Amino acid sequence: MIVISAKILDDIVAHAREEQPNEACGLLAGVESTVGQSYRLTNVDGSPEHFSLDIREQFAAVKEMRAAGLEMLAVYHSHPATPARMSAEDLRLAFTPGIAYVIVSLADPDQPVVKSFRILDGSPIEEQVSIQELEQ
Amino acid sequence: MSLGFEEIERYSRQILLQQVGGKGQEKLLASKVLLVGAGGLGSPASMYLAAAGVGTIGLIDGDKVDLTNLQRQIVHFTDDIGTPKVESAAAKLKAINPAVNVETYEALALADNILGIVSRYDFIIDGTDNFPAKFLINDACHFAGVPFSHAGILRFDGQLFTVIPGETACYRCLFGGPPPANAVPSCSQAGVLGGVAGVIGCLQATEALKYLLGVGELLTDRMLIFDALSMRFREAKFRRNPRCPLCGENPTITELRDEEQIACDLKAAKA
Amino acid sequence: MQITSNGKPAEVTDNITVTDLLKELKVATPEYVSVELNGEILDREQFATIRVSDGDTVEFLYFMGGGEL
C-alpha cells in the first residue's frame, strides 16, 4: 500500500489539471511506504496520450530526494480522459523495479481518481492508497 | 462416519472422482468453511460449497440485500431485498443442501470479532470488496493459523491466490504494512461484470475444496489474474517476503487493528 | 574497486566498462537505463567503451514513460 498526504494528493491532482489536455508526470518520494514529497517533472512528450520524464530532471530529483533522506516510492502520471488504469504501454514502459505506479484520472472532471499499482511478475496489481491527514 | 444411501446419490458425481471417493466426501462433510462477505464472490462460492457437501458453512456480512446487488450476487433474489444478506444466503444454501449447517454472523468483520470467528473454521474465503477488510482477513488468518483464499474483482478483471499462513506468501508480503494511524483508505466506485464475480468466486470454492480434500496444487506463491475482455488468465509468481511486517523475520504487526473509515471522495484541487 | 552507485558504495570489477557495470549491478533492462558518470550524462553509444575508475560516482535511472496504447 502507499500512503499519501492529503496535501500531496491535492497537489498531484492540481498538477494533472494544470497540464490538461496533456499528461502530467512526476515522482513521489518518502520513507517506507509513506510519501513525504512530490516532484513535478516535465512531460517531454507534451502529449495527451504519452508521457516521458525528462532525464536530467529525473537525475536532479533523485539527488534531491537522497539529500532529504527520502527514497523514490512512485512515479505518477495523469490520464486526462481515461480511467486510472495502467494501459498496455504504461505497463510496457514500467521499467523501474520496486516502486509504485500512481495514476491520476481526470476522466470525470468533478471526481478525480487516484490509484496506485505495483508490478507483480509483469502484471499490474492495484494496491490500497491511504490518505494521510496531517496533524494540525 | 459412513455415507447414507441418499448422500452417496447426492454426491455421486464427485465421489466418482478418484481423488475424492467416499473418504473425501466424508472429509468435506466434516469440514467448516467461513465466507467473509456474502456478496459477489461469496454468492457463487457458498453455493458450490453447499452443493459439494461442506458440512458447516459460516457467513459473515453486515449488509442487507440491495437492488444494486442483484446484478451479480446470485445467491440473493428480488424478494430478498431488505433482508440481511446472511439470512438470504443461508436460506438458499439450505435449499441446495439441507444437510449443510449454516452459521450466520450478521456483522461487519472487525478486529474485535474476526479472530474468534476465523479460528472456528478450516478454511476462509475472502469475499470482501475493500482493501482494509482484505488486510484484516489476512492478518486474522495469520494469527489463527487458518489458510484462506484471497480474491478481488473489478470491472472486467479478477485476481486470486491462496495463503497457507507461516508457509506461503501472504497479502502483506506483497502489499506491505499498515498505514499510520491518521491515514484513511481511499475508495472509488466502479462497476464489475457479473460473470467475473462468478468466475473468481467459483475458483475460490474450488481452492477450498482442494484444500479440504488434500488434492492438487494450491494456488500458493502465485496469483492468478483474469482479464475477461481478452479472456486470458495469467499467473504472477512471488515468494514470502523476509521483510513482511506480518510473517517476515521481524514482524511489526502483532495484533489486529481496524483502519479508519474509508474516504470515498478525494479532496479535489479546484480547476 | 570501490565506486559510488546511486549514492551507495559498491565493489565492482576493476576498470569495467559501463555496459559490464550495468550487468554487474544486475540491471534487468540496460537498454532503457540512463547513466551519469561523475556528473555527466553519457551517450548510450559510449556504454561499451567508457570505463569506470576507482572512486567514480555513477548514477543510473530507468526510463520512465507511458502512453495510451
Structural domain boundaries of chain B? 31-237
Quick one: pLDDT at residue B267? 52
Residue A122 belongs to some domain of the structure: no
Quick one: pLDDT at residue B177? 85
Amino acid at A13: V
Q: What is the pLDDT of residues C27-66, one digit of tens each?
A: 989 999 999 999 999 999 999 999 999 999 999 999 999 9
Q: Which band of pLDDT confidence, cut at 50, 70 and 90, is reported for residue B260?
A: confident
Contacts of C6 in chain A (CB under 8 A): 62
Instruction: Give the pLDDT mean for B126-148.
Output: 96
Q: Which band of pLDDT confidence, cut at 50, 70 and 90, is reported for residue B182?
A: confident
Residue C67 belongs to some domain of the structure: no
Quick one: pLDDT at residue B56? 98
Q: What is the pLDDT of residues A63-85, one digit of tens each?
A: 999 999 999 999 999 999 999 99
Distance between CA B221 and CA B239 in Å, rounded? 5
Residue C68 belongs to some domain of the structure: no
Instruction: Give the pLDDT mean for B25-53.
Output: 98
Q: Evaluate whether B238 touches B223 at the Cβ level (below 8 Å).
A: yes
Instruction: Give the pLDDT mean for C17-21.
Output: 96
In terms of residue numbers, what domain contains A94?
Answer: 2-116+127-132
Domain count, chain A: 1
Q: What is the CATH number of the domain that holds A40?
A: 3.40.140.10
Q: Evaluate whether B228 touches B196 at the Cβ level (below 8 Å).
A: yes
List B141, B170, B173, B187, catalytic entry: B187
- Closest partner residue to A9 among B223, B235, B266, by Cβ? B266
Q: Which band of pLDDT confidence, cut at 50, 70 and 90, is reported for residue B1?
A: low
CA distance B25 to chain A (A): 36
Distance between CA B76 and CA B82 in Å, rounded? 11
Residue B269: pLDDT over 50: no
Name the closest residue on chain C to residue A45, using Cα atoms: C65
Both ends of chain B: CA-CA distance in Å? 69
- Percent residues over pLDDT 70 in chain B: 97
Q: Cell triple for residue B123?
A: 478454511
Quick one: pLDDT at residue A135? 62
CB spacing of A113 vs B175 below 8 angstroms: no
Residue A108: pLDDT over 90: yes
- Closest partner residue to A58 among C32, C61, C69, by Cβ? C61
Q: How far is CA C68 from the centre of its chain?
A: 30
B173 is catalytic: no
Quick one: pLDDT at residue C68? 81
Instruction: Give the pLDDT mean for B43-71.
Output: 98
Which residues, in sequence order, are bridge partners of residue C8? C5
How many Cα atoms sit within 13 Å of B151 on the Cβ side? 34
Residue C57 contacts A, CB cutoff 8 Å: no
CA distance A55 to chain C (A): 8
Residue C45 contacts A, CB cutoff 8 Å: no
Residue B251: pLDDT over 80: yes
CA distance A21 to chain C (A): 14
Instruction: Give the pLDDT mean for A113-124.
Output: 95
Instruction: Give the pLDDT mean for A116-121.
Output: 96
Contacts of C36 in chain A (CB under 8 A): 59
- Which residues 175-204 in chain B show a CB within 8 A of chain A? 175-177, 179-180, 182-186, 188
Contacts of A51 in chain C (CB under 8 A): 65-67
Instruction: Give the pLDDT mean for B123-149.
Output: 97
Q: Evaluate whether B253 touches B245 at the Cβ level (below 8 Å).
A: yes
- Percent residues over pLDDT 90 in chain B: 87
Quick one: pLDDT at residue B268? 43
Residue C36 belongs to some domain of the structure: yes
Q: Which band of pLDDT confidence, cut at 50, 70 and 90, is reported for residue C69?
A: confident
Residue A52 contacts C, CB cutoff 8 Å: yes
CATH architecture of B31-237: 3-Layer(aba) Sandwich (3.40)
Instruction: Give the pLDDT mean for A5-24.
Output: 96
- Closest partner residue to B174 among A6, A120, A130, by Cβ? A120
Residue A8 belongs to some domain of the structure: yes
Distance between CA A73 and CA A31 in Å, rounded? 8
Residue A11 belongs to some domain of the structure: yes
CB spacing of B131 vs A128 below 8 angstroms: yes
DSSP secondary structure letters along chain B? ----HHHHHHTHHHHTSTTTHHHHHHHHHT-EEEEE-SSTTHHHHHHHHHHHT-SEEEEE---B--GGGTTT-TT--GGGTTSBHHHHHHHHHHHH-TT-EEEEE-S---HHHHHHHHTT-SEEEE--SSHHHHHHHHHHHHHHT--EEEEEEEBTEEEEEEE-TTTS--HHHHH--PPPTTEEEB-----B-HHHHHHHHHHHHHHHHHHHHT-S---BSEEEEEETTTTEEEEEE----TT-TTTSSS----S--PPPPPB-SPPPPP-
What is the pLDDT of chain B when averaged over all its residues?
Answer: 94
- Closest partner residue to B268 among A112, A129, A130, by Cβ? A112
Residue B189: pLDDT over 80: no
CA distance B22 to chain A (A): 40
Distance between CA B263 and CA B100 in Å, rounded? 39
Residue C57 belongs to some domain of the structure: yes
Instruction: Give the pLDDT mean for B240-254.
Output: 96
Residue B271: pLDDT over 60: no
Sign of CA dihedral B116, B209, B211, B69: negative
